Amino acid sequence: MTETSWFWVGVVGMAFGAVVLTVLGGKRTQDEEAHTVIHGLVPLVAAVAYFSMAIGQGGVTLSDGRVFWFARYIDWSITTPLLLLGLCITALHGAHRRRALVAAVLGADVLMIVTGLFSGLSTEAFPRWTWFLISCGAFVALYVALFGPLLEESRARDDIRRHSYLTSAVALAGLWLLYPVVVLLGPDGVGVWSPTPTTGCLTVVDLLSKLAYGVLVVRASQHDADGDLERGEVSATLVTSHGVPSDAGSTPAQP
């Protein structure tokens, strides 16, 4: 397969995945609805980015001869914060709790993507590897937050939610570890791999981390919603005659 063929695989796969995740998702509770919206939107954004690369508008040729696909970083700067927001919702029962913690998680993620962008745009060794190391530092800080305070927050709730968060966090963290490895081996890193296998690997990892992971989280959110509704911790979300969501009954305050 050519590099362009891989881009079209990304377009079709992400567009199809956006429809599937939207259809699979539920809207009975606010958390469940949030996961449906987030994980339906993520592949839609990715499909747009892949389309821009497939038609040759998502990249630029640098002075060292490399074609740098900046559209990937635009995609990641939008989709990775959304995925992390979903994790925060699972751990905190709504991202409105621990706002400073959520802001720190999303901030570290954006810093990781932006410095990765600067690394890829660099044509000299010193700025490229300096930016790469800064990006890796933000990556480590992000993992500390995921398996530190956010994990503790999920443990303070119930076993079902703790399990959902831990499963989701481990799956996402494992998949995301593949990105810096592929980038490091590709043309934007040490250049061991040529553009086509690099693009192929990134496309496969993207599909796994946005679609397969999305199905995992959407299914988990449905299971969590079942438990929340059974225990009466939340009320089913209704839609008023004006189309404005409202809670049927009161929702007990969360600890």
CATH of residue 176's domain is 1.20.1070.10
- Residue 252 covered by a domain: no
pLDDT of residue 185 exceeding 70, the answer is yes
pLDDT of residue 95 exceeding 80, the answer is no
What does the buried/exposed string (b/e) look like for 147-171 if buried means 16 or more CB atoms within 10 Å of the residue's CB? eeebbebbeebbeebbebbbebbeb
Flag whether the pTM goes above 0.85: yes
Which residues, 6+ apart, have CB-to-CB distance to 184 below 8 Å?
132, 190
pLDDT of residue 68 exceeding 90, the answer is yes
- How much of the chain, in percent, has pLDDT values that exceed 90? 72
Sole residue written with tokens 């081996």: 185
What does the buried/exposed string (b/e) look like for 96-105 if buried means 16 or more CB atoms within 10 Å of the residue's CB? eebeebbeeb
For residue 41, the SS3 value is: helix
Residue type, 151: L
Q: Higher model confidence: residue 25 or residue 167?
A: 167
Nearest CA to 35 out of 27, 46, 43 is that of: 27
For residue 247, the SS3 value is: strand
- Residue 35 covered by a domain: yes
DSSP-derived secondary structure letter, 254: P
- How much of the chain, in percent, has pLDDT values that exceed 70? 88
Which residues, 6+ apart, have CB-to-CB distance to 132 below 8 Å?
115, 116, 119, 184, 189
Mean pLDDT of the residues in the chain: 89
- Residue 98 covered by a domain: yes
What is the domain count for the chain? 1
pLDDT of residue 228 exceeding 60, the answer is yes
Pairing verdict, β 60-61 and 67-68: antiparallel
Q: Are 121 and 169 in contact (CB under 8 A)?
A: no
Nearest CA to 116 out of 75, 84, 148 is that of: 75
DSSP-derived secondary structure letter, 19: H
- Residue 133 covered by a domain: yes
Write down the pLDDT at residue 251: 42
pLDDT of residue 240 exceeding 70, the answer is no
pLDDT of residue 25 exceeding 90, the answer is no
Write down the pLDDT at residue 230: 72
Hey, which residues does 68 pair with through a beta bridge?
Answer: 60
pLDDT (average), residues 169-181 = 96
* Residue 48 backbone dihedrals phi, psi, to 5 degrees: -65, -45
Crossing angle of the two packed helices 213-231 and 30-54, in degrees rounded to 10: 170
Write down the pLDDT at residue 169: 96
- Residue 243 covered by a domain: no
Question: Could you tell me the pLDDT band of residue 107, with boundaries at 50, 70 and 90?
Answer: very high
Which residues, 6+ apart, have CB-to-CB distance to 216 below 8 Å?
167, 168, 171
- Residue 242 covered by a domain: no
Interatomic CA distance for residues 211 and 177, integer angstroms: 17
Enclosing domain of residue 145:
3-233
pLDDT (average), residues 178-194 = 96
Write down the pLDDT at residue 71: 98
Contacts of residues 149-157 at CB distance under 8 Å and 24 or more positions apart, as own/partner, are 149/98, 149/101, 150/87, 150/88, 150/91, 150/92, 150/101, 150/105, 151/91, 153/91, 153/92, 153/97, 153/98, 153/101, 154/90, 154/91, 156/255, 157/93, 157/254, 157/255
Write down the pLDDT at residue 26: 83
For residue 29, the SS3 value is: coil
